Structure 1
Amino acid sequence: MDPLLTPLDQVLERVDNRLLSPDADVRIWATGFPLLDDALGGGLRAGSLNLLAGSQGEGKTTFALQIARQCAKAGQPVVFFSYELEAEVLLQKMLAAECAEQDVETPASVYQVRAAFEGTDNGAGGLPERMARYEGGLDALAAVSEYADRMHIHRSTTTSTTLEVIHRTVKDVIAHHGQPPLVVVDYLQKVRPTVHMEEEQAVTHVTERLKDVAIEFACPVLSISASDRAGLEPGQRMRARNMKGSTALAYEADVVLILANKADIVARHHLMYSANNGEHFRDYSVLTVEKNRSGRTGAEVEFRKQFTHGRFQPEGTVVTEDLVDERVFVE
């Protein structure tokens, strides 16, 4: 019988065994953002393709890295295909974020952690000695060390990191850990098919193959997506149709999340009648759940930016102001 053909009695038995087993396979990966998890029905699901889009500089990599860090903390392996940043840069962000979570008055910033890594901090010794100079520094280093063996950073390039490489790497991580990982791709439009294709065709192909990876390995794939020019125009709220390359992005994805600077999408009357013309809105990003096959669509949650420490405050709040009014994506 075709291994892809599954009688429902086997599905019922599998679900029952999973629920009764103390070592049940993970089916939902919590993001560490409680209001987002609530909107998604618990978090990112096995077999799902999740897209995170937004304008340049809005913190997409920071947001994805924070989710990855949360999953690794929870005991789940992570493989992060980074087409943008070196592993050391991502680690610096993670250490600064962990410092900010130590409940100290003056946690180390990303800049200070970077200086420690590069030996330009006027300190001495190895990384522990240099991090010890900052409040919470050693605790942050210990926290990262607890899950560092589960966080795999793949230094990806457009010329060498093909879909085949992604597939093989995920398979290797599963073999190493004995369980499927969270797969992060930063970002989708950087992935190249093996054969030459026009941009729209290539994005369609990559999107479909990433969805196949999620299904085949029963893991969530979280991919960052670039926006096209229309999505970058001042005053225009980015939507799924503004993701660069293909309508397949919105169609194939199970979840579409859009990050936007609150000041750019809040209704004009809030800016006109707010103190300082709403400058405080720039401290927040609004995350819109534009598409969600497994839960609520249209949820709008704001998170305070702490980019100095490489993170967002995870305790967000539901947006109460009126935002630029446009229809969300509907299948």
Structure 2
Amino acid sequence: MSYIPPQNIEAEQSLLGSCLLLGQKAVDEASLIITEADFYRETHRMIWEVIQRLSTQNIPIDIISVSEAFGNRLGKIGGRQYLLQLANATPTLSNIPIYAGIIKSKSLARLKIAECQETIKQLVNEEDPTEIISKSMLSDMRILNQGKKDSIERVSDRLFEVYDKIGESKGKNGITGVPTGYPDLDRIGGGLQVGMIVLAARPSMGKTTFAMNIARNVALAGNKALIFSLEMTKEQLIRKFLAMESGLNSKLFNNAGEIQEEQWKQLARGLNSLQEAGIFIDDTSGVKASQILIKARRFKSLNPDLGLIVIDYMGLIAPESNKGNTNEKIGEISKIIKTMSKELNLPVLILAQLNRGVETRDDKIPTLADLRDSGNIEQDADAVMFLYREDYYNNPEEGAPDPSETFVIMRKNRLDGGIGAAKLIYFKAVQRFTSIARPDLKEAC
């Protein structure tokens, strides 16, 4: 099927004409939006390349200098006559951003068409569709990044915005991010800031339950929480939420015959409370980081009040490709998660397991070194928190006591805030972490 690719020759001519008439100022303005590859007509790409070269050499840009720079190649673009035509055909000199925006938009459309055509070709050749779709998602990210405007801003343009944000935190006990619901932890980090936040612990330490408690607190405070659960099903997580909200021992849910009438009422009150909470779960297993990004991007577009994304957990995210070693694959995953946080302007809490080395030493309090077999997680993370329960190691035969004293240790924090430890009480039976002892919850344990 033949077709004319998306293009706007008039916009290309008007922009080049503006540059020939206005010189460096126009070139600088256009260069923030477009590149040589964005022009559809080859002669226009040639003219822009010469204009850019003159610009970098600090040579004044006009019809004469551009003509001289072409030398004996001038005939290939239509001669000096065509340069005069470009200057004379420019309707308005002040519309450079508009011309450049049109050119960029058409260029992105052509890139997407070319990518789709390549995808069709690969599918027709019966290549792995899952691999093709994943690559297509990454390609979309690259195309979108090409369409972004210049990221350089003058500090003074953002000063008052940051100042106002600091002022707002005064009425929130110094919390500038999303509150976790745990005051001692929020005092350390200022709440959950925009960034990739790693929550790590050994298996069965309680990291999934703690992450769900944070998601619950965020949602009940009025923001939405989106959970990508690669390990547990939606039903399993909902049972956790019902236990923590009702204060009932979660084991009762496996034998409803033992639930007393008053406990049914507790369960109903917990259910009603959760109905008001904006908690959303995707329990698709084996997904890639790029697929999570696409889903999160779509969800955020429909739910601007999204306050937190939780991913459980890093080790179960499928690699983008089968190339490279384990560390390289995990490194690519962590970079996509970091990109997600920055693009969506949200904290992303991602869970990870510690390596076994922590169990071979006397001091079992986790450090950043315990993440170092996990690719670039330690390097890419904006903040790293560890869960530590001393009784986890001291009671291997009897099992940990319930409730259990638990420490959330902030080991790395390059966001607003510091490092330190917050002590919490973990009521395992009712799936709750609290900042203080709760006799009412202890009765259910």
**Please, which of 20, 31, 42 is the counterpart of residue 180 of structure 2?**
31
Q: CA deviation at 1:181?
A: 3.5
Q: 1:49 to 1:259 in 2, by over 3 A?
A: same
Q: CA deviation at 1:7?
A: 2.8
Query: In structure 2, what is the equivalent of residue 226 of structure 1?
Result: 353
The answer (yes or no) to whether the contact 2:185–2:421 under 8 Å persists in 1 is no
Residue 95 (1) aligns with residue 242 (2): yes
| Residues in 2 aligned to 1:110 and 1:282: alpha-carbon distance in whole angstroms | 14
**Please, which of 186, 190, 193 is the counterpart of residue 45 of structure 1?**
193
Q: CA deviation at 1:13?
A: 5.2
| Residues in 2 aligned to 1:177 and 1:281: alpha-carbon distance in whole angstroms | 38
Partner SS, residue 44 of structure 1: coil
Residue 295 (1) aligns with residue 417 (2): yes
| Residues in 2 aligned to 1:87 and 1:281: alpha-carbon distance in whole angstroms | 25
| Residues in 1 aligned to 2:164 and 2:434: alpha-carbon distance in whole angstroms | 37
Q: CA deviation at 1:141?
A: 1.0
**One-letter code aligned to 2:391:** A
**Please, which of 241, 247, 250 is the counterpart of residue 110 of structure 1?**
250
The answer (yes or no) to whether the contact 1:82–1:185 under 8 Å persists in 2 is yes
**One-letter code aligned to 2:206:** G
**Please, which of 194, 200, 204 is the counterpart of residue 327 of structure 2?**
200
The answer (yes or no) to whether the contact 2:409–2:421 under 8 Å persists in 1 is yes
| Residues in 2 aligned to 1:315 and 1:211: alpha-carbon distance in whole angstroms | 33
Residue 184 (1) aligns with residue 302 (2): no
| Residues in 2 aligned to 1:18 and 1:257: alpha-carbon distance in whole angstroms | 25
Aligned-pair identity (%): 21
Q: CA deviation at 1:96?
A: 0.9
**Please, which of 60, 69, 78 is the counterpart of residue 216 of structure 2?**
69
Q: CA deviation at 1:304?
A: 1.6
Residue 137 (1) aligns with residue 267 (2): yes
The answer (yes or no) to whether the contact 1:52–1:258 under 8 Å persists in 2 is yes
| Residues in 2 aligned to 1:14 and 1:67: alpha-carbon distance in whole angstroms | 27
**One-letter code aligned to 2:257:** N
Deviations 1:244-292 (A, max 9, x none): 63352222212111111123689xxxx9xxxxxxx87982122211111
The answer (yes or no) to whether the contact 2:341–2:348 under 8 Å persists in 1 is yes
| Residues in 2 aligned to 1:66 and 1:283: alpha-carbon distance in whole angstroms | 16
Task: State the TM-score, normalized to the length of structure 1.
Answer: 0.75
Residue 314 (1) aligns with residue 314 (2): no
Query: In structure 2, what is the equivalent of residue 146 of structure 1?
Result: 276
**One-letter code aligned to 1:93:** K
Q: CA deviation at 1:192?
A: 2.2
Partner SS, residue 378 of structure 2: helix
Deviations 1:148-185 (A, max 9, x none): xx211111322xx1112111111121122123431111
| Residues in 2 aligned to 1:172 and 1:55: alpha-carbon distance in whole angstroms | 33
Query: In structure 1, what is the equivalent of residue 388 of structure 2?
Result: 260
Partner SS, residue 69 of structure 1: helix
Query: In structure 2, what is the equivalent of residue 321 of structure 1?
Result: none
Residue 175 (1) aligns with residue 301 (2): yes
| Residues in 2 aligned to 1:14 and 1:222: alpha-carbon distance in whole angstroms | 25
**Please, which of 203, 212, 217 is the counterpart of residue 56 of structure 1?**
203
| Residues in 2 aligned to 1:80 and 1:201: alpha-carbon distance in whole angstroms | 25
| Residues in 1 aligned to 2:164 and 2:178: alpha-carbon distance in whole angstroms | 19
What 5-or-longer segments of structure 1 have no aligned partner? 101-107, 125-129, 272-278, 317-331
Residue 83 (1) aligns with residue 230 (2): yes
| Residues in 2 aligned to 1:146 and 1:95: alpha-carbon distance in whole angstroms | 13
Residue 209 (1) aligns with residue 344 (2): no
Q: CA deviation at 1:205?
A: 1.3
**Which protein, 1 or 2, shows the higher relative CO under an 8 Å CA cutoff with sep ≥ 6?**
1
The answer (yes or no) to whether the contact 1:49–1:222 under 8 Å persists in 2 is yes
The answer (yes or no) to whether the contact 1:231–1:243 under 8 Å persists in 2 is no
Task: State the TM-score, normalized to the length of structure 2.
Answer: 0.57
The answer (yes or no) to whether the contact 1:185–1:224 under 8 Å persists in 2 is yes
| Residues in 1 aligned to 2:403 and 2:345: alpha-carbon distance in whole angstroms | 38
Partner SS, residue 137 of structure 1: helix
Query: In structure 2, what is the equivalent of residue 329 of structure 1?
Result: none
Partner SS, residue 58 of structure 1: coil
Partner SS, residue 45 of structure 1: coil
Query: In structure 2, what is the equivalent of residue 322 of structure 1?
Result: none
The answer (yes or no) to whether the contact 2:228–2:283 under 8 Å persists in 1 is yes
Q: 1:18 to 1:54 in 2, by over 3 A?
A: closer
Structure having the larger proportion of residues in strand: 1
**Please, which of 388, 401, 405 is the counterpart of residue 284 of structure 1?**
405
| Residues in 2 aligned to 1:137 and 1:200: alpha-carbon distance in whole angstroms | 44
Partner SS, residue 122 of structure 1: helix
| Residues in 2 aligned to 1:265 and 1:237: alpha-carbon distance in whole angstroms | 11
Deviations 1:195-235 (A, max 9, x none): 11321111111112111111111000101111112134474
What 5-or-longer segments of structure 2 have no aligned partner? 1-31, 33-148, 169-174, 438-445
